[in-house]
Structure 1
Amino acid sequence: MSDDRTFDPTPRHRQKMRAKGETALSRDLVSASMLLSGMLIFWGVGEFLGSVPIQFAESAWSDGAVLEMTPELFLQKWNFWIWTALFLVIPFLAMIPITVVLVSLIQTRFLFLPSKLSPQWKNLNPLTGLSRIFSLDSLVVVGFGLLKITLVASFIMWMVFRQLPQFGNLCRLEFHEAILRMKGLILGTGLQISLVLFCLALADYGWQFYRHKQRLKMTFEELREEIRQQERAK
């Protein structure tokens, strides 16, 4: 029973475990945040992002432009639109990796350990790997993954069958209007799927936070050794 972690951690023990990289981190929440931020960006400014190459093609290959087009003029226009795209498009797309970094840092409370970047040779131990495979965390990850696949697949099927009449009506519309309507349907469906995945990722973070609290708890031997070290430091 001495290995049971039933005692609340002391501040010193919390600090020691944090220095070892013990945090609550949900990778599902990171990936779901990336997907959701990407869908929100394309939902909000997708039309603007798509207009940049279209405007370049219209200005470069219009009737008047074709008659006056020379290699030097084309290169000049190409450079102009490339820089325009960099200044207008890249800032929006950069919000996706920025969101990923922020979500990771917020979960770990801005913890960065360079030592974690170096190879950990103890992780190559087959016995350690087997123990991780058959651990409670691995079983929960597998079960949660199967649940997530089932829920997302069911949601996609429900969305597709619900919107089948709308896809059928696209054949009666003008080409440009049909493209706009299809874009709205695809982005709307993608956004709703992203929200479902984000909600499931929040549940996964709740589990990771609970397991983090359990790993922080101390055994009787650890608590007794902690008290001894505090008495020696006085």
Structure 2
Amino acid sequence: MMPLAIAGALVVLLPLAGLVGRVELADLGGLVSSPAAATALGLSLRTAAIATALVVVLGVPLAFALHAMRGAARAVARALVLIPLVLPPVVGGLALLYAFGRRGLLGEAVGGSLAFTTTAVVLAQTFVALPFMVVAVESALAARTGRHEAVAATLGASRTRILATVTLPALGPALATGAVLAFARALGEFGATLTFAGSLEGVTRTAPLEVYLARETDPGAAAALSLVMVAIAIVVVAVAYRPVGSAR
């Protein structure tokens, strides 16, 4: 068992080691502070933050709705909601384009095409990140017995007050986990963003797109920006699972 565990760890660690080996640490600051890299990273952080807020606002009610459903309808609805988890990103980008593009289903309703705008970046990130919040909250709801809510109801608390003072506080660790994982997924989104939003510098060129473009002209800058994103991802994952460990 241990040799297989070591092999599994190497599958993750060796690529990261290769990435670190490509970067001159003394030059790291200068590489990631170049105008193109700084602009792309700043755009990624801003759009990912907005997408995470949308994920919280939309994902939590969606998780409650799925939890309340029963039977085959629940299975079908869950499968549809979680499709972005397994859908090839470029397919997701095409789907967004055909929904919100100039000739898409809602193109005219949203005032023309949203494609190739910063809003398109946020939509793409929200599309791929939403399932993380839904899975986290629905799993937490399934693990609850409802006993505390029942006690609060017998004491005369309204359903709104029970939700605000009992259920949501109890779901705090799941909400935190879902939010930070959604942020990480939004920050790293590439395929759907490229297909739906394009790669316009300062408008839709996020950090992953900048890495992709820079790898041909400036491999050192691409590796440096990739290393920064790896560091952010490590911090995000550590924060995501800290509440779960504390709750236990």
Scaled by the length of structure 1, what TM-score is found? 0.32
- Higher relative contact order (CA closer than 8 Å, sequence separation 6+): 1
Larger Rg: 1 or 2?
1
Normalising by the residue count of structure 2, what TM-score does the alignment of the two structures yield?
A: 0.31
